[in-house]
Amino acid sequence: MNSRYRPLLIFLMAAIVGAASGLFGVGGGVLLVPLLVVAFGFDQHVAQGTSLVALVPPTGLLAFLNYASAGKVDWTVGWWIMPGVFLGGAAGAHFAEELSSHSLRRIITTIVFAIGVWEASRALR
Amino acid sequence: MYLLYLSIGLLVGVLVGLMGIGGGVLLVPAMVYILGMDQHVAQGTSLFLQLPPLGLGALLMYRKKGQVDLRAGAICALGILLGGYVGSKVAIGTASRDLHELFGLFLIVAAALMWLKPESRQSPGEPR
């Protein structure tokens, strides 16, 4: 997928990722990273760095406002979790440098799959 | 209790930097199971706490190594902003239980995508 339409395709892909992001209250990186790798041929590390760029602006803002106006936000918990994520993020990025792209993919896939199966099975009970 | 919140944040943060993601994928289940929140509130709170640039510290580490495609990142940001509006409208109209189930399926799909092998190799700096 290496053409002048590439930016447009990336935009469309991101819009779909955004819909999932608003639907599930996640940042979108979990879909963005594999899609950049699989569909657009990014290296794993570069895909992760690029995904972080996309998450620096408040891209969840419109989605958040919809949740906030529906009264679906716990402000206290939100404020208290923030600093940890910021500090932990820098530390995690440092560890990522030590790991190969292959190991990174394996770690992420395992964690996300495990949580997915857990969530889906809980819901079915 | 606040110490628990801080620790959840710290743990999720490490994975954020490690995986280059926003953290919602881990935050939402953590808030539902550890803090006993409703699925909708967990999702709304996850979006709220991701408003500030929490991945900035992680991003700077990637940037130092030249592992960032700024243009593609900016395009993705715009797409996610607009798509997020639509997705959140759908979510608010969906029952918590159904949402919970869908969330699990979403993660399984995401994991399956990650499992796929990249179709071609291309560095982001190449002319397109």
Residue type (1 letter), A49 = G
Residues A24 and A67 both lie in one domain? yes
Quick check: B79 and A84 CB within 8 A? no
> Which residues make Cβ contacts (< 8 Å) with residue B96, sequence separation at least 6?
B38, B39, B40
Whole-complex ipTM? 0.83
Gap between the Cα atoms of A84 and B104, Å rounded: 25
Quick check: B73 and A81 CB within 8 A? no
Number of structural domains found in chain A: 2
Contact (CB, 8 A) for B17 and A94: yes
Q: Would you give per-residue pLDDT tens digits along chain B (128 residues)?
A: 788 888 888 888 888 777 777 778 888 888 888 888 898 999 999 899 888 887 788 888 889 988 899 888 888 888 888 888 889 989 988 888 888 888 888 888 888 887 775 544 444 444 43
Residues A53 and A95 both lie in one domain? no
For B:6-35, CB contacts with A below 8 A are: 6-29, 31, 35
Tell me the whole-structure pTM to 2 decimals.
Answer: 0.82
Residues A15 and A40 both lie in one domain? yes
Gap between the Cα atoms of B21 and A47, Å rounded: 10
pLDDT for the residue A2: 58
Residues A60 and A81 both lie in one domain? no
